[in-house]
Amino acid sequence: MNQSAMVTVPSAVTVAAGAFAPGHLGELTRFLPFELVDDVLECTRTVQRRMRALPSRVGIYFVLAMAMFPGIGYLRVWGKMTAALEDLGLPGPSEKALRELRRRLGPAPVKALFEAVAVPLACPRVPAWPTGGCAPSRSTA
């Protein structure tokens, strides 16, 4: 009988320091690491020019969280995104501050982030849609 051994491979993980460290801003930081977001901000020249209470990196995650929770308002989205920070006693931003953060970023970094991570979900060998249904019909002319 062939038994597989279990092996643990340690690895170094880089994390951001401070209140807005990965994991503090919800599950998005697990799938979109801060290094990627920081790189996109650099490439689009949208990194904050001075130290702010709401850095540009936080703004990207906030805009993405707004897409996940449409229609509940800025402050409730912020509350969902920062629920893990409640024990730190950080003051919450005003709705105006969140609106300014979003305006300051603009669409360029979100577009660049999408272009960096968007990939086809299907393998090249997935069969074409069957005729009928929701798929566009093929012409045989």
Query: With 60 as the cut, is the pLDDT of residue 20 above it?
Result: no
- Number of domains making up the chain: 1
Query: With 50 as the cut, is the pLDDT of residue 31 above it?
Result: yes
Residue 39 lies in a domain: yes
Query: With 90 as the cut, is the pLDDT of residue 117 above it?
Result: no
Residue 103 lies in a domain: yes
For residues 52 and 106, what is the distance between their CA atoms, to the nearest angstrom? 17
CB 100 within 8 A of CB 40: no
Q: Which domain holds residue 109?
A: 28-116
More confident residue, 89 or 31: 31
pLDDT in tens, 66-77: 888 888 889 998
Residue 69 lies in a domain: yes
Residue 51 lies in a domain: yes
Query: With 50 as the cut, is the pLDDT of residue 135 above it?
Result: no
Residue 108 lies in a domain: yes
Using left for φ > 0, alpha for ψ between -120 and 50, and beta otherwise, residue 26 falls in left
Rg (alpha carbons) of the chain, rounded to whole number: 21
Q: What distance separates the 2 farthest-apart alpha carbons in the chain?
A: 67
Average pLDDT, the chain: 75
Place of tokens 């951001």: 16
